[in-house]
Structure 1
Amino acid sequence: MEKVNKKITELVANNPDSASVLHFLGIHYFNYTEQTLGEVCQQQGLDAALVMRRLNESAQLRDKTQINLEEYPIELIVEYLKHSHYVFIKQRLTYISSLLDNYQDSSAIVKDLKLIFPHFFKDFVEHVYDEEDTLFAYILILRKLQQSKQKITDSQLLEKIQQKVQGKTIAHFAKEHREEDNEMNGMRELTNQYQHTNQNDLHAKVILDALKSFEGELKIHAKIENDILFPKAQQLEQEVLSISHS
C-alpha cells in the first residue's frame, strides 16, 4: 500500500508509463501535482486497490515476451495487427495528443511537437486505414480462396481483387513496406532521440517517454509484418495462383 501514500507526480516521475495507466482510469496526473494517489482515488471515487493493481499489471505486461505469431494462421495474424492499429490510434496516440494539449510549460521542443503531432496523427490514421483496406483485405480474400480451393476464374472476383490491390502483388507490398521511412523520424530528430533537456519538467519527460515507447511498439509491429505476415502472405498468394493456373 506504499504507493497510496505517494504523490501522483512522484509515481509518474519514477515510472512515466504509469501516467498512461492513470489516464485511462480517469486520472490526469498533471491536475494533481500535490496530491497522493490515495487522496485522488478518494476524490474521484475510485478503488485505490484496483488502481494499484492496474499499475502493477501494466508493469508486468511490459516485461512479458512477445507471443509467437508464426504459429498462428494468417487471418489471426491480420486480426492481431488490426487490433494493434486500434490500440495505436484509440489509446497510444490519443493519450499523447491529450498530454500535448494539456502542456502548459515552456519547452520549445514540446511547443514544436504540438504543431507537428496533429499532422503525424492524421497521416498515420490514413496509412493504417489504407493498409487495412488494401493489403489486409487482399490477404483475407486469398485465404478464403485457399480454404475453398476456388480458382480465380470469376470475372467479378478478379475485378474485386484488382480494385483492392491496384495490380500489386504481395512482393510489391513487402518492398514498399521495407522502403518506407520510419513514421517517427521527424519527431525523433526534433527531440534529439527523445532526450529530456529539462529534468525538472515532468510533463515534457512524460510526453517524450510516451513517444519513445510508441516508436518501440511501432518497430515491433513492423517486424511482425516484415518477418511473419509478408512471408506467409507470399506463400499463400503463390498457392492460390498455382491452383488457378492448374
Structure 2
Amino acid sequence: MLSHPRHGHFLLIWIILLHEYLSVAAQLVNGQYYTSGLAISNAPAPGSQFSAGGAIGVSVDVSGNGKLPISASVPGSTLPTAFISLDIFLVSSQTKTNITVTSGPQFLEGEPGSTVKHLNFGIPTCLKTGDYNYTYYEVSRINEITYFSITPIPIFILNNQSPSEDVVCDGSTEPEAQPQPSSPPPEQPLLSPGFTLTTGSSQPAAPTNTQDTVTVTLTTTVVSAISTLVTQTATLTLSGGLSMVTS
C-alpha cells in the first residue's frame, strides 16, 4: 500500500449511532466492511491506495462472523440463507475501466472448510491513475428470498508510468452507468438489531429435526456509512469515550 497523497474527490461520511443508521446500506464496523448482502470484506479497506503492477490482497468472511454454517458458502447450497454467487470487479467511471477480479464459483469453492476466502489480485500495469470501486456483486438467498446486491468499496490506484489514453487493458470493458440497478435485502441481515436469520435446512424436515435460527442482537456500536469516494482520515471521539478512526 502506498503513502502517496490521495487524489480525487472528498469523502462524505456520516457518523451515527446504531439505532439511527439505515441498515440497508453497507457498513464499516470495527475494521470490517459489511456489504449489502452476506459477504463481509476484511480487505482491501475503503480508501486504500495501490500501485499498478502491485497486488490487492483480498479477504472475505463468508460466515457472517460465525452466524452462518460453512455449508452456506458452498455454491449450490439449499440452505434458506446462503450464497448463490459472489463476483468481484474493479470498476472506474473516471478511467472507463471494468476488470474482473474474480468471477464464477472458484472463489467460494476455494480454501474448503475455511470461513475466510483469500485472493491476491495482480493489478494490471495498464491501469491508469484514478479512483476505482472494488465492487462486490452478490446473489444470495436470505430466509428463502433471493437478493442481488452491489457493494462498491472505494480505492485509489496510482500508475507512475502514465499509460497512453489509447491504451486499453486486456479484458477491460466499458463500465455500465452508475449506480447499477440492484435488489438488496431491505435490512443488512447481519447487523440489523433483532433480525432473525434462518440458517437451518430448507429441505422438508423429518419429525425429529428442527430448524435452527440465529437472532442477531447488537450492543451499541459506532458505525459509519461510507460513500464511494475516500480522501481524508480523521479520529472522532464521541460521548461515552467511544472513538473511531475513519478514512
Greater percentage in strand: 2
- TM-score with structure 2 length normalisation? 0.30
TM-score under structure 1 length normalisation: 0.30
Q: Whose radius of gyration is greater, 1 or 2?
A: 1
Decide which structure has greater helix share.
1
